[in-house]
Amino acid sequence: MRVDESLSARQGNLFIVSGPSGAGKGTLVRALLARVPDLWLSVSSTTRAPRPGEEEGIHYFFLSRKEFDRKVESGGFLEWAEVHSNRYGTSRDVVERKIDQGRQVVLEIDPQGAQQVKERMPQSVLIFVNAPDLSELRKRLFGRGSETEEQIEARMARAIEEMELAGLYDFVITNDDVVRATDELVGIIDSYADKAPGA
């Protein structure tokens, strides 16, 4: 009997780690990759300037606004969003290729982008990382003393809106303790190790 290759080739899963900025999703994803090294983390494109120590193609692909917008127009992004006046996007072709190759793919993106991916690829797994609680977040923002009361209220309003999106997610992790939260994240990814997307 001839084995149909298209049936035997198994696609990888797409995991989207998202949540309000300040919830610590970057730290969690780094800890996740150290524990599950065969995951493939997508490198986003951004219009923001590199921070000290950030390298082209490793942390981000740094694009001019013109280059970014050209890629938007040509449909090169699976999703994109404006976050704090800069644009960020996930390249469509490389993510689709990795999934087709059977890799487990991780995106670390903001909630607007996460919603776009879930709409386009409903089989993707949405994981929402939440800050411990709102009063803690407000306390931290005031404690920093670097923002006006108006800016703090704007950030709080955005965090509340983003937390309300948690209901759309497949999993919600509260980042109250990095080690515990990483264990939870690893457990979720492991539970998909033998599962085809959408199964």
Residue 44 near ligand 5GP by CB under 6 A: yes
SS3 string, 49-87, reads CCCCCCCECCCEEECCHHHHHHHHHCCCEEEEEEECCEE
Which sign, positive or negative, has the C-alpha torsion 95, 62, 39, 17? negative
As measured in angstroms, the least distance from the Cβ of 103 to ligand 5GP is 18
Collapsing DSSP to helix, strand or coil, 116 comes out as: helix
Q: Which residues pair with 130 in a beta bridge?
A: 174
Residue 91 near ligand 5GP by CB under 6 A: no
Residue 79 near ligand 5GP by CB under 6 A: yes
Among 15, 68, 88, 128, binds ligand 5GP (CB under 6 A): 88
Residue 162 near ligand 5GP by CB under 6 A: no
Residue 89 near ligand 5GP by CB under 6 A: yes
As measured in angstroms, the least distance from the Cβ of 110 to ligand 5GP is 4
Query: What x-and-dash track marks residues 5-34 binding ligand 5GP by CB under 6 A?
Result: ----------------x-------------
- CA distance linking residue 115 with residue 19, whole number of Å: 11
